[in-house]
Structure 1
């Protein structure tokens, strides 16, 4: 991928546990949503060409105010299509970006690499930029928050 952004985190757990949190209807809602949002997994089929369909709902006052001011609904159904599935090592998916007011829909690629290291696992998330700098910064902040939330779930176990 060219012109990509990379986020990395290290967690004191196994690659298997990270994989389970990232690929199951039980694991995803525990950490996927940015702060102030909740996620419900509607469908999941972890195979190349399979997908993840989930509904994200703004629940925090600041997030509700932002969604309202941007003319966006409080709940949005999102779709991802898996493009690479290497259990416990790598997961890649395109997100269908169809929720940006006034912008044509497009697909956005994310690649997640999971590597065991001494004392835990390193997760590297590589993402494409979005259609402009403002939305790119939003997705970077959102994905960083999600990775931090994943760390909180792992720490609580």
Structure 2
């Protein structure tokens, strides 16, 4: 007997036992502000981390354009099984409030399901409540049980990712092309990168997808901090995605992204980091990473203002 899941969370048998439709609901309370949870929910770099429902599943995001009318295409891979293709299309994006997207699942050219996914965000006392409704149509087989298991595991992952995510934002009074040009330029990036009083000493720099930046940050007291950035995504004047390593080819301590949004001639810059562990996130907060990161964005603002 096929079951559907109503909006109240209870299971109901379809009258004929064969209904392909189901409505699934999920709720999570997460100890982060809604603005942080929103970034973890929508930013491709973060989604690539939490989307896999289990360690046996690898999720490769092939294409992502997080705007109304944009889409995300990913492949879910399990060894020994055919790849599952997922296409998401963003229909509504109201930051820290609501998103709506369609989702179509296919495998070897056959469409398995289509769904409408609505996510609503509420915040109280620094905690966020996330309510997700999935209106599902199973086209080739009953997908309700798989959706319930997969979404449930993914949202558990999302909660863990959000709680080790750091978000820095700043509105810079300069056009997006100017801000992007200062960031993604091998000559200018080292001139402003880093907190107040820090300088950069570059070994190699190649600011392309597949490129890298190997450099030392040198503190005001002369302390040297080796860094290695590995760039995996570069969308001109839109966003970059990269990994942060402790020194050249050292251990990864965070996945990061920078997004650039036009605000009537000004530019909103969002710098996000998902730390590899909760302990590294707490350590970063403890040594003032938020304040130091804001200093870095302040140096960027002063740099572009002076040009």
* TM-score bucket of the superposed structures, by smaller chain: 0.7 to 0.9
Match of 1:36 in 2: 197
Q: Which runs of 5+ in 2 are unaligned?
A: 1-45, 47-160
- For 1:107 and 1:135, locate their aligned partners in 2 and report how far apart those are by CA, in whole Å: 10
Match of 2:124 in 1: none
Match of 1:155 in 2: 305
Match of 2:12 in 1: none
Offset, 1:30: 2.4
- For 1:50 and 1:26, locate their aligned partners in 2 and report how far apart those are by CA, in whole Å: 15
Match of 2:177 in 1: 16
Conserved? CA contact 2:226–2:246, under 8 Å: no
Match of 2:53 in 1: none
Backbone CA RMSD of aligned residues: 2.2
Match of 1:71 in 2: none
- For 1:24 and 1:110, locate their aligned partners in 2 and report how far apart those are by CA, in whole Å: 18
2:287 is the alignment partner of 1:141: no
What's the TM-score once normalised by structure 1's chain length?
Answer: 0.78
- For 1:121 and 1:132, locate their aligned partners in 2 and report how far apart those are by CA, in whole Å: 27
Which has the larger share of helix?
1
Conserved? CA contact 1:94–1:108, under 8 Å: yes
What's the TM-score once normalised by structure 2's chain length?
Answer: 0.42
Aligned equivalent of 1:90, options 217, 234, 239? 239
Larger radius of gyration: 2
Relative contact order: is structure 1 or structure 2 higher (C-alpha 8 Å, sep ≥ 6)? 1
**For this pair of structures, how many residues does the alignment match?**
141
Q: Which runs of 5+ in 1 are unaligned?
A: 68-73
Conserved? CA contact 1:15–1:121, under 8 Å: yes
Q: Report runs of 4+ in structure 1 exceeding 3 Å deviation.
A: none
- For 1:98 and 1:53, locate their aligned partners in 2 and report how far apart those are by CA, in whole Å: 8
